[in-house]
């Protein structure tokens, strides 16, 4: 579990019922939902929650560093609660499914000094692409 709710409680984030529902929807492993998906699931639990509230709450969570925004080319941004464990993404170019993956070795170390242009590196985002099992069996 990403224990997002625990982390938010630990930070003293004011958990209104609306914020709680958004955090609950995002909690878990391999969660990469679009804002619209978060809204659709939140409505199932709290019918009166508005799209604007969901968007604002997502923005706050990203600002707090507790949720990551994952951009996957050409598709809507996804929200990822797995913000504290360095990981990369494996993306299906058929259906857009995303898995959290942990390549071996340090991705920063993979970039030689001659390719760093004097930058001090702080992170790397790597996207592995391919077809998931469902898409590769061509249903
Ligand atoms: Zn797929
Ligand atoms: Zn992820």
pLDDT in tens, 121-133: 988 888 999 999 9
The two three-digit tokens of residue 6, written as one number: 């625990």
pLDDT in tens, 29-82: 888 999 999 999 999 999 999 999 999 999 999 999 999 998 876 778 999 999
Q: Give residue 74's pLDDT.
A: 72
Q: How far is the CA of 12 from the centre of ligand 2 (A)?
A: 24
Q: How far is the CA of 77 from the centre of ligand 2 (A)?
A: 12
* Ligand with an atom nearest the CA of residue 99: 2
In which region does residue 52 sit, left (phi positive, over 0), alpha (psi from -120 to 50) or beta (all else)?
alpha
Confidence band (pLDDT; 50, 70, 90) for 2?
Answer: low
Q: Give residue 139's pLDDT.
A: 54
* Ligand with an atom nearest the CA of residue 91: 1
Q: How far is the CA of 44 from the centre of ligand 1 (A)?
A: 26
Report how far residue 51's alpha carbon sits from residue 79's, in angstroms, rounded to the nearest whole number: 15
Whether 61 and 22 have beta carbons less than 8 Å apart is answered as yes
- Rounded to two decimals, the pTM is 0.80
* Ligand with an atom nearest the CA of residue 128: 2
- Number of Cβ within 10 Å of residue 67's Cβ equals 26
Q: How far is the CA of 59 from the centre of ligand 2 (A)?
A: 17
């Amino acid at each position: 579990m990403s224990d997002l709710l625990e982390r938010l409680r630990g930070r003293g984030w004011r958990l209104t019922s609306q914020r709680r529902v958004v955090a609950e929807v995002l909690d878990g492993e391999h969660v990469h939902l679009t804002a619209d998906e978060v809204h659709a699931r939140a409505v199932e639990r709290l019918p009166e929650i508005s799209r604007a509230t969901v968007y604002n709450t997502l923005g706050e969570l990203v600002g707090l560093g507790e949720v990551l925004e994952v951009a996957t080319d050409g598709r809507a941004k996804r929200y990822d609660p797995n913000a504290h464990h360095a990981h990369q993404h494996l993306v299906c170019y058929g259906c857009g499914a995303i898995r959290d993956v942990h390549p071996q070795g340090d991705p920063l170390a993979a970039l030689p000094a001659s390719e760093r242009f004097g930058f001090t590196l702080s992170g790397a985002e790597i996207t592995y692409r391919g077809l998931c099992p469902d898409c590769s069996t061509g249903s």
